[in-house]
Structure 1
């Protein structure tokens, strides 16, 4: 993406990145939930060896932590001094004055929000990958123990 040439373009770009991140977060949260539900459904009906049980438990724990990170990254910040919570406390004249004088500050604040969301999403992806690898290991251990 090319560098924005105006504050309005920068503002729009950062808002679009936040929307993209929230969309990715929602999709990953649905995926993690499906993997958790599917793993639990399969694991409760299959006899597991001790190593498979340990690997699976750690895998599920990592997925639960990943889900927590994802939920935290989309959790609304109602006490922040920017965005919707700020607008809800101002009059129409104050909103106009704030927008005309503080657009650069709004871009900076939104950029910090976007980076926090990206960081949470990245950590959740890493945990999801690690949890999935442990679940695969648990499945292989269970299959090896059943043979």
Structure 2
């Protein structure tokens, strides 16, 4: 995964954007701003427009109410601490990054086949992945 898929956002906008990019509908498409805003309106009874959500996601606004963040957390099924607590946010971001990687069929296939390997076998696979990643990085880096 490249930097564009990094989910360890530090700003509120980056954290919200990561949720949209990684947590997907059953058809694997991203949720629309309207779908999420509607669910948040229903959860809170407060006004919550698609435009407001887009503004939060892009950093044009950064002052949501606690109820709005709770509704977003509920919709995306993450703890509300994801938005407030740096340690909790980092843990959730790591889990989101894994979820994003597992959407890739090749990564999912390797992960599923590795489930029954011994710790030694997993270590060997991990070493091989590291070696290949280093070689590809060297090959692709400008001299």
- Shorter-chain TM-score bucket reads under 0.3
Structure with the greater alpha carbon radius of gyration: 1
Please identify which structure carries the higher helix content.
Answer: 1
TM-score by length of 1: 0.27
Higher relative contact order (CA 8 A, sep 6+): 1
